[in-house]
Amino acid sequence: MSRYAPVIKRSLAVRFGFMNILLSLLTVGALALLKSSRPELDLLRPSLSSAAHLVFTVLSVNIHWLFVNALFSRWRTGRAMAALLTVAMLWLLYAYHYTTNFSFDYAVMRDNVREIFFSDSVSVITGRIGTPFIFALIAILSLLAIVEWRRGLLSRQVQEAPLAPKVVLWGGLYALCVLLPIPSHDEGVLFGRSLYRYYAEETAVVSYERGAFPLIKAGPAVASLPPAERPHIFILLMESFNGFMPEARNENGEEYTPFFNSLIPQGLYVERFYGNSVQTSKGHFAVFFSVVPSIRGKVYTDYPRTTFHSLPKALSDAGYETVFFQSYKDLSFDNTRPFLSGNGFARVETVASFTTPEDEPLVWGWGLQDDAVYRKFFAYLDALQEKGEARRPYFGAVATISAHGEFDQVPRHLRTLYPDPSDRRERFANALHASDEFLKTFFAELRRRPYLDNSIVVITGDHSVPNGRHGLFCGESAAYEEFFRVPLLVLWPGRLKPERIPDIPFSQIDIAPTLAALAGVPMPWHHFEGRSLLAERRVEPVYLVQPYNGQFLSVVEYPHKLTRHLAGGTVMLFDLKADPMEERDLSGDPAFADVRTRLERSLSFIFLNQELIRHDEVWRK
């Protein structure tokens, strides 16, 4: 044992030096900055608990530095590299927290790792961090590099002390900081805790009979229509369509979505409609497959071999020509083309394949603006008609793009509501207002084509975005209503009676069974989890999945909504009718004990759904 004593002694020898001072100052400064936006994070107030949490936070930051330094210590430039890496990581994590109001969750990185290096994704990431923070980081790292150079660290000889004991010691202490149930505001520790939760903690234990395929059920009897009488079906999956914006006005009395509002009296409109999750591919999955999106990962990328019987597959079997037309340029993003092509869409196209140099002035944000996309889509259908290459009728889904991202690239002539937007709320309002204006083009193009006279048009959002209703703007941060609410309007002139559904909640998984019923497509067996809007209307559970920030799972049985935060182990219960802002948690009120018990029992369906997707037991091959 004595022969290891010098090694342990050298590993434990720590001098409080320049890097320790710098990291401690950065941490205290970051906490002071966070206090300005979130008072509940104030660790600087004079109290014993705050002092203890602050000491633990600063201590863990310095332990992290010693661990990274140990990893790099055998390199000639190791200490400088470790210093730059530690400061950069700490600064970026605190900047992310400041701009989004929540800590960076490992699940965000893991679930989207395939898409991180797309150029458009990089623009969103930098937008989340904030340009001022990026420039500040460059300045800090430059100063640090100069200091390290002047101190002569770059010319020092490689250390002879064994590497393993130092890495084990400081790595073990840092792992202890992550695992100890002590409140910390070290963003590195919080990220480590989210990583641990992702892999070490099961979402739930669900027992079911393996091989029973519990989702498969007999379909309702519908009046089957002959192919010649079946309607064309078009779904407009409008990017980031927040369900609180229709029929609302800004502070100047201007409507956010005037054209969409004018269509509402002409169709079936659901006032309380939900996207089942918070991202594009998850929303598309819920619409096309009538299955609640996965809690972890994306079905498109993480479970591409799971077998489904989708709406486009059912319609294709019934004689429809199925077309998915995407505004974003890259169909490999989120594995879109392979997944949809293998699940019922005969044609999966991006508008980028049909863009000409003359279209360049209309390309901004993440792609070609929506009105031009609609024209390209109908021109594509015309070409199919002229060549006689397609079967009829058509099932076409169009995924728009103009309201995507940080909403900061809307051309000036399209900033109708706010010519000089001052914040993200106003930028989003401009983008959504432009998308609404572009919607006119879709209906103008549809009316110009007699061969599409008998058409059902569904307008909904792929997902919502929070727009400051609770002071939040990042879609990965919480599970309030504005994170999930999107509009739903179904139009079939002369065939579908205009109607509003006010207090019965529906969601994206209800679109597929509704369209199958409207089109008279018999489905003797199916796995759809949703229900048709045309069937008996009663309040049934609506399931919502927020896979980030520790995972929030919700079930809505209006007027009640229960949300479980898996990371925090907490449950919240709200009465949405009496408390639409979700401010009064009723989970501990004895008067609502039965409601809480019922909804918690109902919430277990999300865990069952996850297991069925994971084990490929949704639909028999």
Model confidence at 182, pLDDT cuts 50, 70, 90, reads: confident
Given the structure tokens 């805790």, which residue do they identify? 193
Question: Where among 471, 500, 535 does a domain terminate?
Answer: 535
**Does any domain span residue 393?**
yes
Do 272 and 346 lie in one domain? The reply is yes
Comparing CA positions, the residue from 607, 508, 596, 510 lying closest to residue 560 is 596
Comparing CA positions, the residue from 315, 322, 348, 323 lying closest to residue 230 is 315
Given the structure tokens 């705050």, which residue do they identify? 50
**Does any domain span residue 584?**
no
Model confidence at 90, pLDDT cuts 50, 70, 90, reads: confident
Structural domain boundaries enclosing 454 = 233-535
Query: How many Å apart are CA 7 and CA 12, to the nearest integer?
Result: 9
pLDDT of residue 127: 64
pLDDT of residue 376: 98
More confident residue, 151 or 202: 202
- Model confidence at 133: pLDDT above 70: no
Do 21 and 76 lie in one domain? The reply is yes
- Model confidence at 177: pLDDT above 70: yes
More confident residue, 65 or 400: 400
pLDDT of residue 3: 54
Q: Which of 142-156, 242-256, 382-396, 453-467 has the lowest mean pLDDT?
A: 142-156
More confident residue, 464 or 38: 464
Comparing CA positions, the residue from 194, 188, 202 lying closest to residue 108 is 194
Do 42 and 186 lie in one domain? The reply is yes
pLDDT of residue 13: 47
Comparing CA positions, the residue from 367, 312, 316, 375 lying closest to residue 511 is 312
More confident residue, 463 or 19: 463
- Model confidence at 393: pLDDT above 60: yes
DSSP code string of 228-275: GGPPEEEEEEETT--TTSTT-B-TTS-BSSHHHHHHGGGSEEESSEE-
Do 57 and 195 lie in one domain? The reply is yes
User: What are the two backbone dihedrals, phi and then psi, of residue 421, each rounded to the nearest 5 degrees?
Assistant: -60, 140
- Model confidence at 582: pLDDT above 90: yes
Question: Where among 535, 564, 595 does a domain terminate?
Answer: 535
Do 388 and 465 lie in one domain? The reply is yes
**The domain that contains 344 carries what CATH number?**
3.40.720.10
Do 261 and 163 lie in one domain? The reply is no
pLDDT of residue 66: 83
Do 260 and 321 lie in one domain? The reply is yes
CA angle 448, 452, 454 (to 5 degrees): 125
Model confidence at 398, pLDDT cuts 50, 70, 90, reads: very high
- Model confidence at 395: pLDDT above 90: yes
More confident residue, 322 or 127: 322
Total domains present in the chain = 2
Contact between 280 and 463 under an 8 Å Cβ cutoff? The reply is yes
**Does any domain span residue 574?**
no
**Does any domain span residue 193?**
yes
More confident residue, 565 or 67: 565
Average pLDDT over residues 475-484: 95
**Does any domain span residue 100?**
yes
pLDDT of residue 136: 65
More confident residue, 45 or 63: 63
pLDDT tens digits for range 418-463? 999 999 999 999 999 999 999 999 999 999 999 999 999 999 999 9
Do 167 and 238 lie in one domain? The reply is no
**Does any domain span residue 572?**
no
Query: How many Å apart are CA 292 and CA 271, to the nearest integer?
Result: 20
Query: How many Å apart are CA 520 and CA 84, to the nearest integer?
Result: 63
Do 260 and 144 lie in one domain? The reply is no
**Does any domain span residue 206?**
no
Question: Where among 509, 535, 561 does a domain terminate?
Answer: 535
User: What are the two backbone dihedrals, phi and then psi, of residue 263, each rounded to the nearest 5 degrees?
Assistant: -85, -25
Residue 453: other Cβ atoms inside 10 A: 12
Do 242 and 103 lie in one domain? The reply is no
The strand pairing partners of 268, in sequence order, are: 490, 499
Identify how many contiguous H helices and E strands the chain contains and give both numbers.
Answer: 18, 18
Stated pTM of the model? 0.91
Do 107 and 185 lie in one domain? The reply is yes
**Does any domain span residue 360?**
yes
pLDDT of residue 153: 47
Quote the percentage of the chain above a pLDDT of 90.
61
Do 196 and 244 lie in one domain? The reply is no
pLDDT of residue 154: 45
